[in-house]
Chains A and B, each alone.
Chain A
């Protein structure tokens, strides 16, 4: 069937992000399997039957060994369920795969449980962030060919794919994820590496929100206890800003690991940010912030409160850092306008107008309330002919990279680019860098 140059070869598309792993068939509009990247593991106690092969190795190798033996809990019921002594880890760091040990398990889970298919029968397209290292992508190719026995493989850049997802070959892609915010100039389907700018801005916003909630204030003398609901046996309704009345599940407390606790608190904060936090559309203004209606939010402990102007302070972090923050932390992540300015200044002057006319705002983090409008206003101030394209459909923004991959892998003209197993065996790792430009 020929539809707009499409030729389906039932390829799989795999998009690994910090918050979730997306997998699905090429040619579809949403990934069928969305699996959290964070996974839980319970370190197995030394099996008495298993004779330790080498004793007294270095501790890092030991840790890796333990992790390998650990029982992994992956998927929706993985880290979010309470298990005694379960640790939670995330293989990603700064948007890159940092720890490859659990990656095959995660991918296997996505393919076999999520899609119920055998990867050995499908060509697989994997995504990578624009700042991915060659070693990383070669490792990914190795996993795919050696562990999953895929017939063909390709690794493509999320910047390019996000541009493709909205039907553009040339674009300035602003991608805000869970860990990283990046600005990627894409020209004719190629990333301009010199113009690439990224920072760990979303992490800063997250940390700021957490700080905001847990710091004691006049209104909330004790700060807010971010206790996961798995640890609470009962609670009573209370008035806003009154100390909560709840009782803990004492039986579970000893089994709580710090990593699980931290992960859950992070999730709590994220949920608060998603439902309450926002950003003003025209810069910070005390009066304007005060005039906006406050929003109520209840935490698992039963504590609830109305959040007024402070909820807009969170979003402000995306655009401007206070002078004292900059002074105290020289390595503070760059704000969005700074990233865009940095990226544009590294591009050819000829290209700037084209890129500004094709700004693509994408990534789950871009769904932050009011962010699109604010960004548009900020940019309008500096650049006259600027046009932001932000998909209105939240799914398209969350899975922009995957969607672009889905489009790319179903194109008839793309099929000559696959790295086949034969080529992998013949040329080895070098082929990845040659083919996937």
Chain B
């Protein structure tokens, strides 16, 4: 039974060059015709691999010849180990390969499992993590010239640099392991100070290939202020050495400060609310409301009327959206914007919405809460939407993605929709007029053909032709009468559309509908002038 195989046997299997090609010493694999379980393979294993692994059978059967003493539970362990081996070799297609580690100075070869396709001569994948730290070295000459220190001998400095290299600049460990025979005891600050000062001196005095700033930077990275470090450490120590009483006192003081702060805040809030009630000062004022603003609010300052205000809300006793309560209907309450707050608004890009519906009662419904502009982008009118969209698509104007919904952009988008709507209207009228012209022309043509048939009616026909032309002109004039206003607008629309599309640098050369509307509009206006 394969279970008898111990770890050593498994290794001997592993040492084979390739598990699928049995060595010369082994019997040639013969495919068993019968499905009978071969000798030397456990039932579990056989049911796992089936009869299709004859080479495996041969290999597994072999170690059985050199029976080893059955050691306790090793039996069971070995069985699982064989299964694991089978799994790795036949399912994961792995190989037990030797590798050498470039991080090692000797020729130790360890083995590991790798994919069978891996190149055995490839560099060890973990070698790249073996990064030695850069520790400066110096020559005797350099030491004599630059690094003399009355506290340190050359030997001890050498020792320090060795230890630092050995522990990869971990100064806590260096200080722990530092034991220079016959030297004085050194603290971690002593060691760091010596090491960094030596490094600094070496960098400063060695020829430098790079530019000056990188050198300065490098020297700065080796900066070490021993006195400051010692002081810092003393602070830490004193912080740790506080007695429980001191800690408790500190805690009590902290709580007291918090309480005072809270009181202050509550007082400020109450005062603020009071002012709001009495004087109608906006609650958004920083801190406690300034007195002069209260004065303004109470008595009104004509100089500081809202700039650019259209006077709509000056005399209306309607409370603003900020919820200011008017004291009485006769008191003209209004939002007061001091110069300071204007400046503040400008600085923080705050735009106060001036337009306020005058005839809306001051209910909650009329109140417009703060909203994100991007959530209320202007949309084309529902009834016109498909046509407008089509027109815009024809113009190659993409309006669905307004990247930056600033106020200007929103109003521009709104203008675009208006223009597009006007354009669509105009188009409709133009189409109608065109249709009429076509009908009249057709009628004229019919009449002309009749005249042509009757000989000697040239003059008549000419007359009639003139008449027809007149008619046509009349029809145009009629159409023009209807369309004038719209056409006028259409010009501006077309212009604005053009300018817009130019702005978006997406203007297409063949804007058919715009062109027709423009020509018809210009013609119409010309005719109107003629009339």
**Interface, chain A (partner B; CB < 8 A):** 1-2, 5, 7-10, 32, 112-113, 115-118, 121, 123, 151-152, 187-188, 190, 192-195, 348-352, 412-413, 415-416, 418, 420-423, 426, 437
Query: Is B106 among interface residues, defined by CB-CB distance under 8 A?
Result: yes
Whether B108 and A418, one on each chain, are in contact in the complex, defined by CB atoms closer than 8 angstroms, is yes
Residues of A within 8 A of B126 (CB): 5, 7, 412-413, 415
Residue of A nearest to B174 (CB): A190
- Shortest CB-to-CB span from A332 to chain B, Å, is 27
- Any A CB within 8 A of the CB of B188: yes
Q: Are B172 and A352 in contact (CB under 8 A)?
A: no
Distance, CA A426 to CA B104, complexed state (A): 14
Binding site for A on B (CB under 8 A): 6-8, 11, 71-72, 74, 77-78, 94, 101, 103-108, 110-114, 124-126, 129-130, 166-167, 170, 172-173, 175-177, 188, 233, 236-237, 240
Closest B residue to A424 by CB, please name it: B106
Q: Which residues of B contact A420 (CB under 8 A)?
A: 104, 106-108
**Cβ-defined contact, B104 with A121, below 8 A:** no
Kindly report which residue of chain A lies nearest to residue B76, judged by CB atoms: A116
User: Which B residues touch A350, using CB under 8 A?
Assistant: 233, 236
Residues of B within 8 A of A151 (CB): 108, 110
Q: Which residues of A contact B72 (CB under 8 A)?
A: 113, 116
- The reply to whether A116 and B166 form a contact with Cβ atoms under 8 Å apart is no
Given contacts A188-B173, A349-B233, contact A2 B125 (CB under 8 A): yes
Given contacts A117-B7, A437-B167, contact A416 B77 (CB under 8 A): no
Q: Which residue of B lies closest to A426 (CB)?
A: B106
Closest Cβ–Cβ distance, residue A414 to chain B (whole Å): 9
Residues of A within 8 A of B166 (CB): 437
What are 8 A-B residue pairs whose CB atoms fall within 8 Å in the complex? A5-B129, A9-B111, A112-B71, A187-B173, A192-B172, A349-B233, A416-B101, A423-B108
Known contacts being A192-B176, A415-B101, A415-B126, is A423 close to B106, with CB within 8 Å?
yes
Count CB-based A-B contacts (< 8 Å).
Answer: 106
Query: Residue on A with the closest CB to B238?
Result: A349
Nearest CB in chain A: distance from B108 CB, A: 4
Contact residue among B107, B112, B125, B173 (Cβ-Cβ distance under 8 Å from A8): B112
Smallest CB separation, B237 vs chain A (Å): 5
Q: Sort A-B residue pairs by CB-CB distance and give the 9 closest, nearest first.
A: A116-B74, A416-B103, A412-B126, A420-B108, A117-B7, A349-B236, A9-B110, A190-B173, A192-B176
* Chain B residues within an 8 Å CB radius of A195: 176
CA distance A9 to B8 in the complex (A): 15
Which residues of A are found within 8 Å of B176, using beta-carbon distances? Answer: 190, 192-195
A412's partner among B94, B125, B172, B173 (CB-CB below 8 A) is B125
What's the Cα separation between A187 and B105 when bound, in Å? 27
Task: Evaluate contact between B106 and A415: CB separation under 8 angstroms.
Answer: no
Q: Which residue of A lies closest to B72 (CB)?
A: A113
Q: How far is the CB of B386 from chain A (nearest CB, A)?
A: 60
Q: Which residue of chain B has the shortest Cβ distance to A346 in the bound complex?
A: B176
Q: Is B240 a contact partner of A351 (Cβ separation < 8 A)?
A: no
A435 nearest CB across to chain B (Å): 11
Q: In the complex, what residues of A have CB within 8 A of residue B7's CB?
A: 115-118, 121
Chain A: CB-nearest residue to B168: A188
Question: Closest residue to B102 on the A side, CB-wise?
Answer: A416
Chain A residue contacts of B8, Cβ below 8 A: 117-118, 121
A192 to B236 alpha-carbon distance, docked (Å): 20
Instruction: Find B170's partner among A2, A190, A416 (CB 8 Å cutoff).
Output: A190
- A118 to B71 Cα, complex, angstroms: 12
> Is B172 a contact partner of A116 (Cβ separation < 8 A)?
no
Cα distance A5–B128 in the bound complex, in angstroms: 12
By beta carbon, the residue of chain B nearest A427 is B106
Contact in complex: B129, A413 (CB < 8 Å): yes
Q: Which of B71, B125, B130 contacts A416 (CB 8 A)?
A: B130
Contact A352 B240 (CB under 8 A): yes
Cβ distance B40 to chain A, nearest Cβ, rounded Å: 19
